[in-house]
Amino acid sequence: MKQVFNFNAGPAALPKEVLQQAQQEMLNFKDSGISVMEHSHRGKLYESVHEEAKTLLKELLSIPDSYEVLFLQGGASLQFAMLPMNFLKQGELAGFITTGAWSEKARNEAAKIGATEEIVSGKEQNYTTIPALPSFAEDRYKYVHVTSNNTIFGTQWENFNAISHPFLIADMSSDILSRKIPVEKFGIIYAGAQKNLGPAGVTVVILRKDLLQQANKDLPAILSYETHVKNRSLYNTPPTFSIYLLHLVLQWVKSLGGLDAIEKKNEEKAAFIYEAIDHSNGFYSGHATKDSRSLMNITFTLPNEDLTKTFLAEAEQRGFIGLAGHRSVGGCRASTYNAVPMEACKALRNFMDEFYLNYGN
């Protein structure tokens, strides 16, 4: 089989071990004679996968018992709408910290449901940096929304010390499970699975249970968090195969030593590639300012369009996949999610060094 290094931004690389296990179990899950996809979501075998996945996620992220873990569909994009539908009533205001295109989308969707206000935006700096947060009166906002990692621009909140609100919501689609996070700081955390958690199709929502008391009771059942909490994410047919793979990914993360080990590895992986950028005398130019660099999405440009094209074409020939930047910003992007191996990042670094030597003068 062709050797490739997968730097896709999402759907993204999955751990090889996970895919191998899924392959082994594909036709005969737990000696049942059928695949996991063919089991009833109300049957014992599937239910144990479903519940164990929740338990493992709670363990790995140290989620307190006061929170519920939900497995929903509709991607992070449905959360952009469900959050205000459930929690933003007339006369209330939602505050948004805008650090990239996905934060903008989250706010635009919320603005269709209720009143929103931008607390701060990095747009004027072309989202190169995580902006300093101005002080604000907490009681001005029903909730405050933040995006922890900006997949398109390649910036990330290093920590959440500067942000404080009793009802803080974070879109962690592109960095969940990549590092330790203070879950207690948040009312709700949500993430589409297709970067660090598993395949597309399932969205994880971590919700502080007491918030349900404030939720809108008049929504269609499928759009209400309460429905999904009451039914343990089994209100309707869940994406069983995606949740099964999520379960395997969580077991894999645990087997590697949990988030301490993952975080360290992610730091080392990203450092290889940032070093190639920093040692290139400006040939590669990082989009993010150094203090806002993402450990998950490394964005950079080359001196001109032609060189970018040549870089991407030569990279592809050498087996590097998914290095083109997002269509809205161009340039290059290497996504170094959990399942991207260290050797892929080293290989990319070597390729970048070599390309610079060939074309940099």
Min CB(101)–ligand PLP separation in Å: 8
- Does residue 77 interact with ligand PLP by CB under 6 A? yes
Answer yes or no whether residue 199 interacts with ligand PLP by CB under 6 A.
no
Under rule CB under 6 A, residue 73 binds ligand PLP: no
- Binding characters for ligand PLP, 135-164, by CB under 6 A (x = yes): ------------x---x-------------
Which tokens belong to 193? Answer: 């699975």
Among residues 71 and 102, whose Cβ is nearest to ligand PLP? 102
Strands 5-6 and 320-321: parallel
Would residue 102 show up in a list of annotated catalytic residues for this protein? yes
DSSP β-ladder status, 143-147 and 168-171: parallel
Segment contacting ligand PLP by CB under 6 A, of 75-83, 206-214, 271-279, 337-345: 75-83
Q: Is 75 in the site for ligand PLP (CB under 6 A)?
A: yes
Judged by CB under 6 A, the stretch of 51-59, 167-175, 212-220, 304-312 that binds ligand PLP is 167-175
Query: Is 195 an active-site residue?
Result: yes
Residue 157 among the catalytic residues? no
Part of the chain binding ligand PLP (CB under 6 A), chosen from 127-135, 171-179, 215-223, 231-239: 171-179
Binding residues for ligand PLP (CB under 6 A): 10, 75-77, 102, 147, 151, 171, 173-174, 192
Catalytic positions: 102, 171, 195
